[in-house]
Amino acid sequence: MDLSVEIAGLHLANPVLVASGTCGFGEEYAGRVDISRLGGICTKAITLHPRAGNPPPRICETPAGMLNAIGWQNPGLEVFLAEKLPALRAYGVPIIVNVAGETLEEYVELAARLNDADGIAALELNISCPNVECGGMQFGLAPDLTRELVAAVRQATDQVLITKLSPNVTDITALAQAAVDGGSDALSLINTLVGMSIDIQRRRPVLGNITGGLSGPAIRPVAVRMTWQVAEAVEVPIIGMGGIITYEDALEFIMAGASAVAVGTGNFVEPTTAVHVIDGLREYCIQHQIAKITDLVGAARTGG
């Protein structure tokens, strides 16, 4: 039974990643989760310079989901390279570095500097974070901007380039096509849906940032639908995510056309969620006599 997958030349021992921002830099879960079993780790968003992040409250629970507005709190590129990356490498799993910036130039500089770093499997371009004033999702809402940014980063790096798409658009396939046209090797989707919650006792928004990104099982049907649409529109591999808690959830994405999946909010519910999803996928394949998981990619499109 073969769970391994290839994402644009990047070999993953299994198709289950942990999503950016939900697993820090791995160390937070060390000793709690066997990180070496994961298909890969998408790091917390890295920016050129350290960022303090948004004022609290930063999170709020919603029905079968949660809102977050962290705002890219991270120690910056230098600390990432000097401290976080060496520690991450020790787990022996592919490291996908999520990069974020306020300007096109910041993305390019980050990509260029990370190009020389050892032990990075891929870059994940964060053009879909809804919780920052400048940059982030601004680059992910208009196809022209997306194409221009991806193309500029493409020039700066030889790494496998994954573009993480926002669901907060009218037609996600247009953004997917733009990212591919710009030179993205693969796509990951979806980032969070913009939402908000009001504290009716205090008569004001719950989140310090007013709005936040909705994640968790509540958004899964939207994410599966978008995975389906994007898989139909472009040829590049897709990493599907949005509310995956169980292996059944992961299979929905795979059968919709995702080559790999990522567990995000599910890590908060139970730190071993991703490991359980891997075990579940293996069991499913054995039970259904599936020789390799790649046979299931897009299975719902062809009627299996």
Partner 1 sequence: MLSTSAELAHREQVAPEHYLLTFDCPPIAEQAQPGQFVHLRVSEGLEPLLRRPFSIMNVNIPAGSLQLLFRVVGRGTQILAQAAPGTWFDLLGPLGQPFPVPATTQEVLLVAGGVGVAPLIFLAEALRELPAPCYVRGLFGARTEDDLACWLELSTRCDEFTAATEDGSAGQKGLVTDLLDEQFDRGGVERVYACGPVAMLAEVARQCERRQIACWVSLEQRMACGVGACLGCVIPVRGPGDTRYLRVCQDGPVFPAAQVDWEAMTADLD
Active site residues: 129
Which of 2, 8, 37, 73 is in the footprint of partner 1 by CB under 8 A? 73
Q: Is residue 120 within the footprint of partner 1 (CB under 8 A)?
A: no
Which of 12, 16, 23, 93 is in the footprint of partner 1 by CB under 8 A? 23
Exposure b/e, 159-196, CB count within 10 A at least 16 = b: bbbbbbbbbbbeebbebbbbbbebbbbbbbbbbbbbbb
Determine the Cα–Cα distance for residues 187 and 165; give it in Å rounded to an integer: 7
Determine the Cα–Cα distance for residues 196 and 212; give it in Å rounded to an integer: 6
Determine the Cα–Cα distance for residues 124 and 184; give it in Å rounded to an integer: 10
Q: Is residue 63 within the footprint of partner 1 (CB under 8 A)?
A: yes
**Sole window of 17-25, 89-97, 128-136, 276-284 interacting with partner 1 (rule: CB under 8 A):** 17-25
Cα within 13 Å of Cα(230), Cβ side: 38
Long-range CB contacts (< 8 A, 24+ apart) of 202-210? 206/57, 206/60, 206/67, 207/57, 207/58, 207/59, 207/60, 207/67, 207/69, 208/54, 208/55, 208/56, 208/57, 208/58, 208/69, 209/54, 209/55, 209/58, 209/69, 209/71, 209/131
Q: Is residue 61 within the footprint of partner 1 (CB under 8 A)?
A: yes
Nearer to partner 1, 65 or 143 (CB): 65
Q: How far is CA 217 from the centre of its chain?
A: 15
Q: How far is CA 34 from the centre of its chain?
A: 20
Which of 117, 272, 279, 284 is in the footprint of partner 1 by CB under 8 A? 272
Smallest Cα–Cα separation from 274: which of 13, 9, 67?
13
Tokens, residue 126: 């964060």
Rounded to a whole number of angstroms, the minimum distance from the CB of residue 197 to partner 1 is 11
Rounded to a whole number of angstroms, the minimum distance from the CB of residue 165 to partner 1 is 21
Q: Is residue 29 within the footprint of partner 1 (CB under 8 A)?
A: yes
Rounded to a whole number of angstroms, the minimum distance from the CB of residue 58 to partner 1 is 5
302: CB partners within 8 A, 6+ apart? none
Nearer to partner 1, 173 or 272 (CB): 272
Q: Is residue 265 within the footprint of partner 1 (CB under 8 A)?
A: yes
Q: Is residue 250 within the footprint of partner 1 (CB under 8 A)?
A: no
Nearer to partner 1, 65 or 140 (CB): 65
Rounded to a whole number of angstroms, the minimum distance from the CB of residue 60 to partner 1 is 6
Which of 66, 122, 176, 256 is in the footprint of partner 1 by CB under 8 A? 66
Nearer to partner 1, 9 or 76 (CB): 76
Rounded to a whole number of angstroms, the minimum distance from the CB of residue 193 to partner 1 is 15
Q: Is residue 134 within the footprint of partner 1 (CB under 8 A)?
A: no
Nearer to partner 1, 53 or 183 (CB): 53
| Site residues (vs partner 1, CB under 8 A) | 21-24, 28-29, 31-32, 44, 52-53, 55-61, 63-66, 68, 70, 73, 202, 216-217, 245, 265, 267-272
